Structure 1
Amino acid sequence: MPSTPCPTTGSYDYLASLTEKVGGLDLHYGYWSGPDDDTPIEEATDRLTGVVVDRLDARAGELVLDVGCGNGRPAVTVAERTGARVTAIDVDERALERGRAWARERGVEPLVSFERCDALAMPYPDGAFDAVLVFESTPHFAPEPLFAELVRVLRPGGRLVVEAPCLHVPVTGELRPRLAAYFEMFQVHSIEQAGTYVEILRAAGLGVDAVEDLTEYTEPFYRRILERLDTHRAELAAEYGAGTVAWIRDGIADWATIPSGSVLITARGPDRPASADGVEVP
């Protein structure tokens, strides 16, 4: 596979700036009712944020952790809708600054703290948070150490909500090379099958309350991204270079052919027996 042609090879920041232009500032899947739903990407990503925040079930005064918060829009939505106090963490200072600005604009700055730190070694005490949100940040980590650290900072019985890209097939030798461009492009460590995430959560001591396959609602996302890339190809090429735009388009187009989707998992911290025995994994 050729290396990325962008001038800062492997730079997630650089590519994020481009993808924001076609996918919006949320940098996560959108949610559509079906193939005939022509909702714009920005509204569809807001819709998915609403679905995920509803599952978090946060309440006024609770302490919520948003892991890998990106530009901070879901963290701000949590504060707006629930009155909870949110600590939003990421390693991208540019994204954190955008989150702070968005919190000020939405009038919830006192409720949302944006902090730069490593999700695998957080500076928070054990049991510090009532709820933890992991919104499409799992691909950047090995899931076992990530979930272990989340369990550590989650209070007993606290709520964990994970929305994650997932594969619907095992990674075979034939599939691995087809994942490579997408993984390099967005600095992906791993994307697992839904059942694997559930097994790791259970092994970490969490009780899994629900596993929802959102694939039918998120499926239009990459098609819409490719349409926008094609529509704005000339202007994007003028800003980023034709090679970079072509590399991104080819990588996303290849990823879109792989059996994948989105899973939404709600779980609780280990203060009671796991409730997962009766939960079906789609």
Structure 2
Amino acid sequence: MSQAEAHPDDGTADDRLTPVLRPVRAGNGFEEALEQILQVVRLGLVPDGGRLPAERELAGRLGISRVTLREVLKVLQDEGLVESRRGRYGGTFVLAPRAGARGEDELRRRVESVDLEDVLRFREVLEVGAAGLCAAHGLPPASAARLREALARTHEAPLTEYRRHDTLLHLTLAELCGSPSLTAQYAAVRAQLNELLDCIPLLVRNLEHSQRQHVALVEAVLAGDAGGAREAMREHCAGTAALLRGFLA
């Protein structure tokens, strides 16, 4: 089996890229394309070992030339985030770092370049708002099924894949709220958050607690309980914030 075929749950991977990949604005094509593909990697939308869309498709989605795209991919390859392979099963493959591999020193270094409290507050505003909107407006059957499936995948995920599926659950909820602007902003802030979370270990007790919160959140959304959904999400965001602050204390 090729590595490109090693992730059977990625049949809808290209659909998952839709909230992040969009045509860039004229004048900043290289920079904006780099930012968006970095988000794809940091959000885990393509898993470690998974293949990015073909150059023609990726350039088309971003509205850039294939020459510009190759310059972007060269930067990512130099940073050790992707690798290019030739042959029948060739393409550009993601080499995402494993969660917790970099440690607390790296976490502290990364925090120096961001306003952690701003990232955490903005994330909470977006996620609480998205949860409330989904519950208040109600989800059609197909959207409700997507949310249930995303939750189920977090239950089934092995420890090494948990954070990726956790991200996909939250991104699904943001996308289903019906505001593309909110979804794009959430993808950006979640990518920042994942850069920090990747530096700390996955704690089983914390994950069990997070899963209970996920279940309560999804149940509130599907029941149309906007207040309950907002409160469940607020509590969940507070837990992540406390975990990061704890490792920085």
Q: Same fold (TM over 0.5)?
A: no
Which has more helix, going by share of residues?
2
Which has more strand, going by share of residues?
1
Q: TM-score, normalised by structure 2?
A: 0.31
